[in-house]
Homo-oligomer: A and B are copies of this chain.
């Protein structure tokens, strides 16, 4: 079920803390098991933003690794791609997290932060970049639907898709 909806803007304070929006916080807490981190943060490979994964969803990403020989190059490559840039984050009592400097730089964050819900995960953006990204996604998502008409492309059936 989708849980992260909408785009919410909060401030990054002088101590480098930012409040996770309450609805995202509630959704993360509902999914986090005892002793787990609240959320896993990693740089997006597609955009100048941070991806935020509930811990269970992130763990599910690593399941294909289990099928690889632990000493193979494939295993090593995937493990590096998955784990080496990922950071766990827990919030303080007020629901704030601290973002690692490398991730802040990747996303170009300075004083305000936009939390963009994508259903199963959310992304953390510089607010103006987030606005541009949403506009781009609206445009591109129309184009996604159209070329799949004849069923020739591998994303099947999304002529039915949407908006």
The residues of A with any CB-CB pair to B shorter than 8 Å are 1-2, 4-7, 23, 40, 45-47, 59, 61-62, 64-65, 67-68, 71-74, 76-88, 100, 102, 116-119, 130, 133-134, 136-138, 140-142, 144, 155-158, 160-163
Q: B64 and A100: CB pair below 8 A?
A: no
Complex-state Cα separation, A71 to B61, whole angstroms: 11
Query: Cβ of A117 and Cβ of B84 under 8 Å apart?
Result: yes
- Pairwise interchain contact B116-A80, C-beta atoms closer than 8 A: yes
Which residues of the partner chain B approach A134 to less than 8 Å between Cβ atoms? 80-81, 84-85
Looking across the interface, which residue of chain B has its beta carbon closest to that of A125? Answer: B84
Q: With A5-B40, A163-B45 in contact, is A140–B77 under 8 Å at CB?
A: yes
Residues in B with CB closer than 8 Å to A46 are: 73, 76
**Would you list 25 pairs from A and B whose C-beta atoms are within 8 A, ordered by A residue?**
A1-B59, A6-B83, A6-B100, A7-B84, A7-B85, A45-B71, A45-B163, A46-B73, A61-B161, A67-B156, A67-B158, A74-B144, A76-B118, A77-B136, A77-B137, A78-B162, A80-B133, A80-B141, A81-B137, A81-B140, A81-B141, A83-B117, A83-B118, A84-B116, A85-B134
